[in-house]
């Protein structure tokens, strides 16, 4: 699969719905959306940012916790790399196209908080409970 072929517009809709329901404190709807997200990510691929074939890690908090950036399509990947560039984080970065469970060892790491989706725009975290 090529970068141009990646499109996760349905996933972007889930993110928008989750934000809207969060604003309305609709916990039932959020749980349903999270179940939908969980099913969606089982069957679909994302663009995963890597360096030397390992996922790029972004520190999140002060205790060694981190998130791994992923992107839903080519446009978001390009914007994300521009964001990395602004923050001097883009050296030697590449990408792979895989399902989110590709790096199974990540889920076993207690410091791994989840995947950060579209770092330059939506900034939604898929927590480890959904992977």
pLDDT in tens, 5-56: 999 999 999 999 998 998 899 999 999 999 999 999 999 999 998 888 889 8
Q: What is the pTM of this model?
A: 0.86
Residue 81, token pair as written in the block: 């790399």
Ranges assigned E (strand) in the chain: 46-51, 54-55, 58-59, 66-71, 94-98, 112-117, 124-127
Give residue for tokens 């996922």: 55
pLDDT in tens, 76-109: 988 888 877 666 565 667 889 999 988 888 989 9
């Amino acid at each position: 699969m090529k970068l141009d072929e990646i499109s996760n517009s349905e996933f972007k809709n889930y993110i928008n719905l989750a934000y809207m329901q969060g604003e309305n404190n609709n916990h039932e709807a959020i749980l349903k959306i999270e179940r939908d997200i969980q099913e969606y990510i089982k069957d679909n691929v994302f663009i995963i940012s890597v360096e030397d074939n390992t996922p790029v890690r972004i520190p999140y908090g002060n205790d060694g916790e981190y998130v791994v950036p992923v992107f839903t399509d080519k446009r978001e990947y390009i914007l994300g790399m521009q964001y990395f560039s602004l923050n001097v984080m883009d050296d030697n970065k590449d990408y792979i196209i895989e399902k989110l469970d590709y790096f199974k060892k990540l889920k076993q790491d207690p410091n791994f908080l989840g995947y950060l989706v579209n770092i330059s725009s939506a900034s939604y975290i898929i927590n480890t409970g959904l992977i």
